[in-house]
Structure 1
Amino acid sequence: MKRIGWTAALVLGTGLLTACGSGGGDAPMATVITDRPTPITTAESATSAAPSTSSPSMTTAPSTTTASPTSPAAAQAKPQDYAGKAPGWYYFSSPSGKFECGIAVLQSSIAGCHGSLPDSAPEVPGSGASGTAVKPNAVQLIAGSPAKFESLGDPKFHRFDGPAAALPYGEVLTVPGSGSTNGLRCSVDEQTGVTCTDQVGHGFTVSDESFDLR
């Protein structure tokens, strides 16, 4: 009786080991199959995402480089081409001939114009009689101070030693300052007229129809 029981137990144990061995062989196959697609899918999505992020930056770069040539710097006139015989004086006229202008580098740099001032220009004290209001005959900018209309006894900005060269539209005549005064620059626009400014924001724009003093 004892020997029969031990044999039956041995046969039963062998059957159980065989059953576990066949079932355990299928489980690792399932685990390997489900684990492999995960890293493959992630790698493919990462590589496919890379071109989509790089392509927008490729289209942005050309638009930035093509925009810069649309704003070229204004042409600079040569001061020596407008120099008068008196030291420190530079004269020019507008291409239309309506204005004669000058820049002077003295103890204080000044710029101004005579010519066809607009009818809307306010009256100013007369040069010979300060109590009398008269039409101005000049507009003047002293560097560091606001521009204003003036009645001058002498045509300060007219060149007497020869004709003043015309300053072409769109060119800028810049004259450095002297000592503690800052420089001045002037230009002529066909629509707005003559503009002269200092380096701190004061200046004037004047035509035969309108003006702006600042």
Structure 2
Amino acid sequence: MNRRGVWGTAAGGALFALLVGCSSNVDGAATAPLATVDTDPPSVVRTTTPAITTTSPPTSTSMPPVTTTTASAPPVADASRFEGDPGSFYFTSPSGKFECAVLITDSSVAGCHGEFPSTAPRVEGSGAQGSAVPPNTIELTAGSPAKFSSSGDPRFHRFDGTARALPYDEVLSIPGSGSSNGLKCTVQEKTGVTCTDQVGHGFTVSDSAFELK
């Protein structure tokens, strides 16, 4: 046999031995080479979501304390300082434009003489019946609406002395002859003289404006 044939035979034998060595014989049956199985499962990557914190709005709020201001009552004048004859109380406005009085009889009356506005309604004259003249008196009888009139007798003028000025914002309150017969008068610098009864009637008068109720 030549040398090339020997090397071929030797190589074939070596290859056969290698194949036989890589196989196994179970119960006489040849099996294929065993495959390698990776039994470790792949790692699981877990991500952690950061917790979200929310702030709930307050269910109540603390409000600052509420301060209420109560208007103080106007000062009450000493009625005795304005009294003339028994049951008669006289005063003037601080400006001197009005002379006024509260007279307590069977029916309480408050009224004034003075510089009435040009818009005051004309009234029947005291001298000539049916004539219309500018008023010289404004008056309120307790329980009845206030009115302008023309008086021949200035009955709200004090003849037995000098009437005192009623200070601005002070209230002259005179009880009446009955439980609902009282009258109150006051003088405001801007609006003038105001007199009212206990049931809502009254007047306010200045030299430029008036109101009758």
Distance 2:155 2:120 in 1: 19
**Cα distance in 2 for residues equivalent to 1:184 and 1:105:** 9
1:74-153 to 2 correspondence within 5 Å?
74-84=74-84, 86-153=85-152
Say whether residues 1:165 and 2:172 are aligned partners.
Answer: no
Counterpart CA distance in 2 for 1:141 and 1:181 is 14
**Residue 151 of structure 1: CA displacement?**
0.4
Deviations 1:25-62 (A, max 9, x none): xxxxxxxxxxxxxxxxxxxx9xxx7xx75833xx33xx
Query: Secondary structure, in 3 states, of the residue corresponding to 1:81?
Result: helix
TM-score (normalised: structure 2): 0.70
Q: Identity over the aligned pairs, expressed in percent?
A: 60
Match of 2:135, SS? Answer: coil
Q: Which structure 2 segments of 5+ residues have no match?
A: 1-55
Residues of 2 paired with 1:79 and 1:111: CA distance?
A: 14
Residue 55 of structure 1 pairs with residue 52 of structure 2: no
Question: In 1, Cα distance between the equivalents of 2:129 and 2:165?
Answer: 34
Q: TM-score under structure 1 normalisation?
A: 0.70
The equivalent of 1:202 in structure 2 is 201
Between Structure 1 and Structure 2, how many residues are aligned? 158
| Counterpart residue identity of residue 189, structure 2 | E
Classify the secondary structure of the residue corresponding to 1:67: coil
Shift of 1:179: 2.8
**Structure 1 ranges of 4+ moved more than 3 A:** 52-56
Q: Which moved more, 1:105-114 or 1:174-183?
A: 174-183
Between the aligned partners of 2:204 and 2:181, the Cα distance in structure 1 is 19
Offset of 1:182 from its aligned partner? 1.4
Does the 8 Å contact 2:180/2:198 carry over to 1? no
Q: How far, CA to CA, are the matches of 2:134 and 2:61 in structure 1?
A: 67
C-alpha separation in 1, matches of 2:179 and 2:141: 13
CA–CA distance in structure 2, aligned partners of residues 54 and 131 of structure 1: 73
For residues 207 and 98 of structure 1, the distance between their equivalents in structure 2, rounded to whole angstroms, comes to 8
Q: What is the alpha-carbon root mean square deviation over aligned residues?
A: 1.8
Q: Distance between the aligned counterparts of 1:94 and 1:183, measured in 2?
A: 21
How far, CA to CA, are the matches of 1:174 and 1:209 in structure 2? 25
Give the C-alpha shift of residue 181 in structure 1.
4.8
- 1:67 Cα deviation after fit: 1.9
Q: How far off is 1:129 after superposition?
A: 2.0
Whole-angstrom distance in 2 between the partners of 1:79 and 1:165: 11
Q: What amino acid is aligned across from residue 62 of structure 2 in structure 1?
A: S
CA–CA separation in structure 1 for the residues paired with 2:136 and 2:155:
10
**What CA deviation, in whole Å up to 9, does each residue of 1:122-157 have, x standing for no partner?**
110111222111111000000000000010110010
Query: Can you list the C-alpha shifts for 1:147-191, whole angstroms capped at 9, x where unaligned?
Result: 000101100100001110000001110001113651000000111
1:75 partner amino acid:
P
Q: Distance in 2 between matches of 1:117 and 1:93?
A: 14
Aligned to 1:188, what secondary structure does the other structure show?
strand
Larger helix proportion of the pair: 1
